[in-house]
């Protein structure tokens, strides 16, 4: 299994393991009425520097879908990028949970970045008040996004200001939120509520947990509705303490940012090493994900060596490949990858 | 936290812990494309003695709702007992996943047992072909059920035969399936497919896992649809191996039945000890759940000592209390419980 | 076709026909942007003596379902009588439109009347704040109801006061609202907003239209959401003027109450005539619907003569039959019915 | 009200009026159990030359949404053109009825025609078997479509062959089906089942009815499911005979094609007359809808004279305007339109 396929291939960090084992040492009330779950709101409020409510979730899909259901309903829509994970890879979960429509948007400027642009605003306003169309209720962005790109705080602010001016909410898919904070070297607040984000899907699984995600409500009054929605969606587990304990350990002692920094640094190293190959075109990674274009023979070799990321042919004999680094990527992993490519080049000449 | 509140208060069994740690030793492909998840169908097919497909789920709610969505759709209904967990305690999840209606049924014979009776058949047939009503598509029962009762194999068979004769499916909520098998001292097949069950919610969390449930499809051809439905519902987690590894360890080396036997035996011991109290009326438990009626003063004392189960006042000064035992209930736990009651009696006289 | 099967067997009243033909004399803007539709809010506000908004609908099912979707959502429930039309005969439409659950209620006092009683309040409060259960959001009653019964204004008031005290809304299924007003000889306001009804399904089809129903919003601010929901549900027709013109003509010149009085009077006459038969047990009708019990031989004869209403065997050889009168029921119709029964009695002796 | 705004501005044809009045002469069983509704399947089967089942609907939105719900479900998708009415103007109704996603498609070749091209096939196949994405279940096209364009029978055939080869169904939105048949001078079968269409939304309202649409099932076995779905959606009206009677009269004596020919011919005449204006660019209409580009001053004048169609600014001072003709468009109507433009030109010079 390629270590660069996804950060999801990594397991849980020892501190998370430890937290789980400790939570298993004594009995606890079920369905979230346990001390770990009780502590979440407080700990996350401190983390974000503002009062928040937290709904633990079991999957990123569920966190995204639940969050969307809290900002858009049956007669409404959510604007997303055409290439966004939430539109392309959630198998209709956001629509299922919310009854809203996701409206995919793209323009020439956003091809290759999957970042929403102000061009979208025309589309939103074009149907305002038109009874034949669902009405825009929210905009959803990913940070870092599906193509490894970052939104700067002021870019988020601009989207949020527009959204709020139109009566819309701004959702952020933060499956790799920690990597974004590490990359921007900012406070978690800077790219969330302080930039106008109303609701956040907070990912922890990829960055060192067994399985723990959360919806963070910057409007804590939504908690009541959110709790029932989570239960109805099958996201209230009986032994919730084991999810909450992971989330607490993830925040405690800065594990989240330590892990994210390791992953981001590994991506940087990998990109640097890749620059030695004239056949490979690799952009400097923004966080822990990089997209490279490489010739067919390299793709074949990497694939055979179980080292490739997700790839697709972009033109004849040329492939685009996504490479992800993780909290447990080691220098040796990069070394093996590079040596495999070096050998492939030799063989190919 | 009372050990008798629920079997959900117990943590994970050491063998489950071990399996999780082992699964964490190496990287693995995400989203269920891992060796643990790949093995599920085979292992469960051996377990049940017939080819099955397995969809891992994160919560019992999700397993029930997903299962219901595979046997009933938007223009259909599922008949359930008025007091069933699936009707009373899933916050509309089965309706959400399936778009079907759950129709609650009760009659005088089933009050106090929550077991469906043949009286229900009239209700089902009364609306057959009536365009103004959703059409019956399934019957759902729990084994053991919400009141700790058991369906004998021939009772299941009778419901299944009727259901199949009417073109309906039979779903079983097996949140405590292992306890039922242990209590009946039968093969898992005897109270599932061999008795006509079409689809089973298979619980493992209560009986010794951190968090692992499954939908077992006795018609493996439903797997394709089930997989997409699970993903759409947010039940496909990225590090699925950690769920699947629990399920495998739960089946392996008979952990499931060993744990269930401990729990059932504990309930029996508890009931026996309770028989010394003239004030307490306790039925012989069928598996690991017993309902007792006891006077107010006892309820108060147990509650204060954090030893009570869920209770409600049934008549003046008389309470009904549910007590659950678990895979980790020890003789000392029962002893403490009994001594607390003995002291309460002394104090009360 | 038996005239007594339902008031739906009657066609449209000449004044409705005339209104339709007039509306057809000139072109008009589509999708409700026509003068007829524009006038609805004003005319209905005058009718009810309070500002209302009106959403025309094409079927009673749609009016009920749309209304329910405006008072209850995905994590909520609506309490209804077990025998109510909205629960038994709408094929899940209210659940479909609203995502809420309808919770059927009955108690010994309400069998035979289908009227909700205060017993229901316990059920509502029992799950308040319980995360495992949908939360009560509304109560729905029918006026006149499915068994031909009437709620007195103070009975509605009591339900409304309770509902509002709990933060719930009160919905009224007024498929035969005009018959209720005629029977109570009151103002339309007396059994709607003035008694605390929040939202009303207003029926006109049965009482003399081709096809015209409406949701009346006593909180006019719901109009925006209601309009989009109606469109999404397929209830916004392109030539809406033909629906709205019927509703206007129905209100104008008191057609609604004139028609309802004819129907109610016919039911009274029918009941009086039926009292001559010792074999028949008929209660005094409250409005235009009466339930009679009669022996099998009478049911057979009526059925053969195409004069029967909906019937079912209640005990051996004894049938319960619903008889409906309508705006176009004539004395001759009653005469034929009675003579048929007289002949049946002679034949039977 | 401009006669050219939409064919929906026209009222009902005298033959439809007559049919409605006749249906009103006698009582009839409710909810579609009447002779008119009973005759639909037979009459439409003759009309199409193949056995079909017919579900009457009250709106085009409902017909489209119901049809979609019969070809795609919760884990599936329907491919449609980005500019299609079904995607842009149904306020989520198809998603609501079906739980499926509509996937909007466009490419450079289809801009300006809104016709689906084979480019779409790549998008469909790209997600086949990918669990993270809903799976394609159907393709939906409109005939004539939103931009007044026609699919030739062989174009439909090509889409159908592809769809069927992939296990997909082909839906046709036939809101203006009659205009398409008239334009192509073909048999209704030629552009429906004989070209591979599986299910058709059959419009009659625009072309001379008060309000009557239908879903035509070329697989009559879907009727059972369709009936319950229609009821659940609020599309089963109590006095269904008045809808069915319109549909019968619409088919009888070729009213449908007579009306469509009048409308199409009027569009042709209008386009011809418009060719005299050098400022106006008008394409030859394919059926009864034409899109013209015209300068701002003309748009203003037409708007003031209540003669304009829907319009939008396409570039500075240049407007695109849709003009629709109808079964009751008269030569005088065209004359008034042209004279208004001629006067505008004079004024402008």
Residue A141 and residue A149 in contact, taking contact as beta carbons nearer than 8 Å: no
Per the domain annotation, does A124 fall within a domain? yes
Supply D232's token pair: 């659940």
The CATH number given to whatever domain includes residue C312 is 3.90.1150.10
Judge whether A82 is closer than 8 Å to chain D, CB to CB. no
Find the mean pLDDT for residues C15-36: 97
In a domain? residue A7: no
Quote the number of domains for chain B.
2
- Mean predicted confidence (pLDDT) in B232-239: 98
Sheet holding A53-57, edge to edge: A53-57, A213-217, A199-203, A169-174, A135-142, A76-81, A101-105
- CA pair distance B216, B46, nearest whole angstrom: 13
Considering the domain architecture, whether residues D200 and D294 belong to the same structural domain is answered as no
DSSP, collapsed to helix, strand or coil, labels residue B321 as: strand
What pLDDT score does A66 carry? 98
What is C151-190 written as a DSSP string?
--HHHHHHHHHHHHHTT-EEEEEETTHHHHHHHHT--GGG
Per-residue model confidence (pLDDT) at position C117: 87
Is ipTM over 0.85? Answer: yes
Q: A237, B59: Cβ pair inside 8 Å?
A: yes
Q: Tokens in use for D85?
A: 């009415």
Of A243, A242, A244, A193, nearest to A220 by C-alpha is A193
The mean per-residue pLDDT over the stretch C211-221 comes to 97
Statement to judge: residues D191 and D304 lie in one domain: no
The reply to whether A133 falls in a domain is yes
Domain boundary among D255, D272, D304: D255
Q: What is the CA radius of gyration of chain B?
A: 21
- Cβ–Cβ < 8 Å for B251, B43: yes
| pLDDT single digits (tens) B5-29 | 999 999 999 999 999 999 999 999 9
Tell me how far the alpha carbon of residue D177 is from its chain's centroid. Answer: 6
Name the stretches of chain D with pLDDT < 50: none
pLDDT band at residue B50 using 50, 70 and 90 as cut-offs: very high
**Both C187 and C270 in a single domain?**
no
Judge if C222 and C338 occupy the same domain. no
Read off the tokens for C170: 């009160």
Task: Classify C324 as helix, strand or coil.
Answer: strand
pLDDT of C119 = 86
What is the per-residue pLDDT across A242-267, written as a single tens digit (0 to 9) for each? 999 999 999 999 999 999 999 999 99
Q: Which residue of A has its CA nearest to D91?
A: A133
Q: How confident is the model at residue B283 (pLDDT cuts 50, 70, 90)?
A: confident
Single residue among B255, B274, B294 that ends a domain in this structure = B255
CA quadruple C5, C6, C8, C14: dihedral, nearest 10: 90
In contact, C311 and C299? CB cutoff 8 Å: yes
Between CA A25 and CA A23 the distance in angstroms is 6
Q: Is residue B7 part of a domain?
A: no
The residue whose two tokens read 């609506």 is C78
pLDDT at B118 over 90: no
Q: Which residue is listed with tokens 């038996």? A: C2
What is the average per-residue pLDDT within B97-104? 98
Percent of residues, chain B, with pLDDT higher than 90: 94
Pick from D131, D225, D228: which is nearest to B236 by CB?
D131
Asked whether residue D299 is assigned to any structural domain, the reply reads yes
Q: Helix, strand or coil for residue B105?
A: strand
- B238 and B295 assigned to the same domain: no
pLDDT band at residue A283 using 50, 70 and 90 as cut-offs: confident
Mapped onto helix, strand or coil, the DSSP state of residue D249 is helix
Please provide the size of chain A in residues: 349
How far A290 CA lies from chain C's nearest CA (Å)?
Answer: 40
Residues D106 and D248 in one domain: yes
Residue B81 scores a pLDDT above 90: yes
pLDDT value, residue B347: 93
B109: pLDDT strictly greater than 90: no
Per-residue pLDDT, A118:
87
Nearest to A258 by CA among A179, A335, A169, A152: A179
SS3 B58: coil
Separation of first and last alpha carbons in chain B: 28
Assigned domain for B4 exists: no
Q: What pLDDT is attached to residue D175?
A: 98
Residue (of A183, A195, A200, A186) closest to A266 by Cα position: A183
Contacts of A191 (CB under 8 A, 6+ apart): A143, A151, A153, A156, A172, A177, A180, A181, A184, A197
Determine the angle formed by the axes of helices A296-304 and A331-348, rounding to 10 degrees.
130
d(CA A217, CA A51): 9
Give A107's pLDDT tier (boundaries 50, 70, 90). confident
Q: Among residues B348, B286, B276, B282, which one has the least CA distance to residue B321?
A: B282
* Collapsed DSSP state (helix, strand, coil) of residue C82: coil
Between residues B107 and D142, which one has the greater pLDDT?
Answer: D142
pLDDT above 90 (res B201)? yes
Contact C177, C200 (CB under 8 A): yes
State residue A1's pLDDT score.
Answer: 78
Backbone angles phi, psi at B315, to 5 degrees: -150, 180
Q: How far apart are CA B117 and CA B111, in angstroms?
A: 11
Q: How far apart are CA B24 and CA A304, in angstroms?
A: 24
Interface contact A104, partner D, CB < 8 A = yes
Residue listed under structure tokens 């159990």: D33
Mind giving me the DSSP string for D274-341?
A: HTT-TT-EEPPPSSSEEEEEEEHHHHHHHHHTT---SEEEEETTEEEEEEE--TT--HHHHHHHHHHH
Task: Return the CATH number at A68.
Answer: 3.40.640.10
Q: Which of B37, B226, B228 to mutate to test the interface with D (most CBs of D within 10 A)?
A: B228
**Average pLDDT, rounded, for chain A:** 96
Confidence of residue C106 (pLDDT cuts 50, 70, 90): confident
Quickly count helices (H) and strands (E) in chain D: 13, 11
Partnered with residue B290 across adjacent β-strands are B323
pLDDT, position B119: 86
pLDDT at position B337 is 97
Residue A176 and residue A265 in one domain:
no
Q: In the Cβ-directed half-sphere of B342, how many Cα atoms lie within 13 Å?
A: 10
- C110: confidence class by pLDDT, cuts 50, 70, 90: confident
A122 touches chain D (CB under 8 A): no
The parent domain of residue A45 ranges over 14-255
Whether residues C220 and C305 share a domain: the answer is no
pLDDT the model gives residue D152: 97
CA gap B66, B51 in Å, rounded:
20
Q: Pick the last residue of a domain from D255, D274, D290.
A: D255
- Among B1, B5, B58, B234, most A C-beta atoms within 10 A, so best to mutate, is B234
Task: Identify the pLDDT of residue C85.
Answer: 97
What does the alpha-carbon distance between residue A55 and residue C131 come to, in Å, rounded to a whole number?
Answer: 13
Tell me if B6 sits within 8 A of A30, measured CB to CB.
Answer: yes
For residue C213, the distance in angstroms to the closest alpha carbon of chain A comes to 20
Is residue C227 a part of any domain in this protein?
yes
What six digits make up the tokens of B324?
Answer: 């659950």
φ/ψ of residue D217, rounded to 5: -100, 110
Residues D93 and D241 in one domain: yes
Neighbours of D, requiring at least 3 CB pairs below 8 Å, are A, B, C
Helix (H) or strand (E) holding C81: strand C76-81
C-alpha span between A126 and A122 (Å, rounded): 6
Burial of B283 (0-12, 13-18, 19+ CB in 10 A): middle
Query: SS3 of D167, please?
Result: coil
Q: Is C246's pLDDT higher than 90?
A: yes
Residue entry with tokens 């629990």: B246
CA-nearest residue to A306 within chain B is B29
Measure Cα distances from B171 to B74, B86, B232, D97, D332 in Å.
Answer: 17, 11, 21, 26, 68
Six token digits for residue B152: 């004998």
State whether A234 and B31 contact (CB < 8 Å). Answer: no
Chain CA centroid to CA C39, Å? 24
**How much is the pLDDT for A164?**
98
The Cα of C11 is separated from the nearest Cα of chain B by a number of Å equal to 21
Instruction: Answer yes or no: is C7 within a domain.
Output: no
Facing B132 at nearest CB: one of D75, D135, D231: D231
pLDDT at A129: 95
Q: How far is C99 from chain D (nearest CA, A)?
A: 11
Name the token pair of B335: 């002893």
- Angle among Cα C331, C6, C284 to the nearest 5 degrees reads 60
Residue A112 has pLDDT above 90, yes or no: no
Structure tokens at A127: 């149907």
How much is the pLDDT for D118?
A: 87
**Residue B304 structure tokens:** 């204060």
In a shared domain, residues B157 and B296: no
Which is nearest to A31 in space by CA: A243, A200, A204? A243
A223 and A130 share one domain: yes
Instruction: Tokens for A202, please give them.
Output: 């907070």
Q: Hey, is C282 helix, strand or coil?
A: strand
Q: Evaluate if residue C1 carries a pLDDT over 90.
A: no
Cβ proximity of D128 and D77 under 8 Å? no
Label residue B1 by pLDDT band (50, 70, 90). Answer: confident
D288 and D233 share a domain? Answer: no
Distance CA D278, CA D276 (A): 6
**For A127-179, where are the E strands, in sequence order?**
135-142, 169-174
Sequential DSSP letters for C121-160: HHHHHHTTT-TTS-EEEEEEEESS-TTS----HHHHHHHH
For D195, other C-beta atoms within 10 Å of its C-beta total 23
Residue A49: the pLDDT is 98
pLDDT of residue A117: 87
Minimal-distance CA residue of chain A relative to C69: A74
pLDDT at residue number D290 = 95
pLDDT (0 to 100) of residue D107: 84
Rounded mean pLDDT of chain C?
96
Axis crossing angle, helix B241-251 with helix B14-23, rounded to the nearest 10 = 140
**Residue B203: enclosing H or E segment and its boundaries?**
strand B199-203
Identify the chains in contact with C, defined as 3+ C-beta pairs within 8 A. Answer: A, B, D
CA D195 – CA D49 distance, rounded (Å): 13
């Amino acid at each position: 299994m390629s270590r660069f396929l996804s950060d999801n291939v990594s397991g849980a960090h020892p501190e998370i393991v430890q937290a789980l084992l400790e939570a298993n040492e004594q009995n606890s009330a079920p369905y979230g009425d346990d001390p770990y779950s009780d502590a979440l709101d407080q700990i996350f409020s401190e983390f974000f520097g503002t009062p928040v409510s937290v709904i633990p979730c079991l999957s990123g899909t569920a966190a995204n879908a639940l969050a969307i259901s809290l900002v858009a309903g049956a007669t409404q829509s959510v604007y997303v990028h055409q290439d966004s994970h939430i539109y392309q890879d959630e198998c209709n979960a956001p629509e299922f949970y919310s009854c809203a429509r996701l409206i995919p948007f793209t323009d020439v400027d956003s091809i290759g970045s999957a970042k929403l642009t102000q061009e979208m605003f025309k589309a939103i306003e074009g149907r305002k008040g038109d009874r034949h169309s669902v009405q825009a209720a929210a905009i959803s962005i990913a940070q870092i996004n599906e193509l490894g790109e970052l939104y700067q705080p002021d870019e988020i602010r601009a989207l949020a200001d527009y959204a709020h001016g139109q009566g819309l909410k701004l959702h952020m898919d933060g499956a790799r939120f920690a990597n974004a904070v590490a990359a921007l070297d900012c406070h978690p607040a800077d790219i969330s509520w302080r930039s106008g984000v109303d609701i956040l899907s907070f990912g922890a699984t990829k960055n060192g947990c067994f399985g723990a995600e959360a919806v963070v409500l910057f409007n804590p009054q939504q908690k009541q509705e959110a709790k029932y929605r989570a239960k109805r969606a099958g996201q209230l587990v009986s032994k919730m303490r084991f999810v909450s304990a992971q989330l607490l350990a993830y925040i405690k002692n800065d594990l989240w940012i330590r892990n994210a920094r390791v992953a981001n640094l590994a991506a940087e190293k990998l990109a640097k090493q890749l620059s030695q190959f004239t056949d490979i075109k690799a952009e400097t990674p923004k966080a822990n994900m990089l997209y490279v274009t490489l010739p067919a023979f390299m793709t074949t070799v990497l694939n055979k060596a179980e080292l490739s990321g997700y790839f697709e042919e972009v033109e004849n004999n040329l492939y685009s490949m996504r490479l992800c680094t993780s909290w447990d990527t080691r220098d040796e992993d990069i070394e093996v990858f590079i040596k495999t490519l070096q050998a492939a080049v030799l063989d190919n000449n």
